[in-house]
Amino acid sequence: MDATITAIKQQKRNPQRVNIYLDENFAFPLAKIVAAWLKVGQRLSVEKVRQLKERDQAEKAFQRALNFLSYRPRSEAEIERNLRKFEVEETVITDVIERLRRGNLLNDADFAHHWVENRAAFRPRGAFALRAELRQKGVPDEVIDQALSHLDETKLARQAARRKATKLSNLEWPDFRNKLGAHLSRRGFDHEIVFDVCEEAWNELKSK
């Protein structure tokens, strides 16, 4: 049975949403972008109301994903997990992911490169640790391989060792090596690189 739109009122708490009134009664809320083509006096069928509500759910999911992305870059898997927490339907999640891709707002390759660069700048990690972190974010292995393909682990290990080595400068070589080595190993650096960097750091300290 068709119904007539008798009012379209902007919500006070959320100006991006409106309330739709049918036959003088409140019927349902919609995102402004979904309701843009509606007007007072327009007749809506039951099927059209269903379609509007579906589009509104999709728009809400998209806005939720945008908000999640606003804090930091995300992988596709992180977006999917976040939307599932709010019980968004799988078909809607798929549409949201595709919409974000088309808008260049979601790209696992860019995300992985950003993650590796950010770690290198602020908290250097070895390839093993970075791979584990990216896998936890749901990034595919082939994308991770590409992001790590030009990683200079020795350079990063030196960066990670520098400050720690200064703090350990009063120790004898065996304790220095063990403590600095454990520090670098926890950051995912290869054992051979750890040994070489520990020796370098020790020699630098003793040459001063």
Domain count of the fold of the chain: 4
Give the Cβ contact number of residue 145 at 10 Å. Answer: 12
**The pTM is what?**
0.81
* pLDDT computed for residue 86 by the predictor: 94
* pLDDT computed for residue 57 by the predictor: 94
More confident residue, 66 or 206: 66
The answer on 63 and 40 residing in a single domain is no
CB 201 within 8 A of CB 165: yes
The answer on 203 and 157 residing in a single domain is yes
Full domain range(s) for residue 55: 47-105
For residues 41 and 37, give the distance between their C-alpha atoms in angstroms, rounded to a whole number: 12
Span 30-46, mean pLDDT?
Answer: 94
* pLDDT tier, 163 (very low <50, low <70, confident <90, very high otherwise): confident
The answer on 120 and 96 residing in a single domain is no
Percent with pLDDT over 90 in the chain: 95
The answer on 121 and 91 residing in a single domain is no
Span 88-98, mean pLDDT?
Answer: 96
What is the total residue count of the chain? 208
Residue 208: pLDDT over 80 = no
* pLDDT computed for residue 37 by the predictor: 92
Cα–Cα separations (whole angstroms), residue 64 to 29, 71, 199? 17, 12, 50
State in Å, rounded, how far the first CA of the chain is from the last one: 88
The answer on 40 and 63 residing in a single domain is no
Check which CATH number belongs to the domain holding 57 and give it.
1.10.10.10
The answer on 94 and 123 residing in a single domain is no
Residue 178: pLDDT over 90 = yes
Residue 1: pLDDT over 90 = no
The answer on 114 and 77 residing in a single domain is no
- Please write the tens of the pLDDT for every residue from 54-84: 999 999 999 999 999 999 999 999 999 999 9
Span 143-164, mean pLDDT?
Answer: 94
